[in-house]
Amino acid sequence: MQNHLASDEIITSIEVSAKQANQGMAYAKFSHPASRYAVVGAAASVTVEGGTVTAASVAVGGVEAAPTMGSSVAACLVGKEPTDAALDEAAAAICSDIGDDVLSDIFASEDYRKAMAVVYTRRALGCAVECAG
């Protein structure tokens, strides 16, 4: 892993916003059997107010060379009640955010990575909704 700092720069601080009471965050991954690194991983943040999703953010990694933001997932979920059906539909929307350069190796083909992106996006969304309370 690398950062984008020049050789004469150092990180002196990192700021992270505090979790809100009605916000849940989760990460789910399909691990490589030897390294435990994510073959496919999904991160989700969901805010639920009055039984309705008011904000959502999703990213998947291990599918393309760089992480993929799930803007279609968020658009599909915001304004809806976080039911199982709504979460299933939103997770399936990750496929429209994934580009044409999907990774493939001996552990996961292109098609398998896309399928697992849906599965792990759904798991992350479900856990995030649970954490949102």
pLDDT digits (tens, 9 = 90+) for 35-88: 889 899 999 999 999 999 999 999 999 999 999 999 999 999 999 999 999 999
The pLDDT score that the predictor gives to residue 66 is 94
- Amino acid identity, position 9: E
- Predicted structure pTM score: 0.88
Question: What is the set of domains in the chain, with CATH numbers?
Answer: 23-132 (3.30.390.50)
Nearest 10 degrees: CA dihedral of 104, 111, 33, 127?
130
pLDDT digits (tens, 9 = 90+) for 85-124: 999 999 999 999 999 999 999 989 999 999 999 999 999 9
Give the separation between CA 53 and CA 57, rounded to whole angstroms: 11
CA 129 to chain centre: 13
Q: Which position has the higher pLDDT, 2 or 111? A: 111
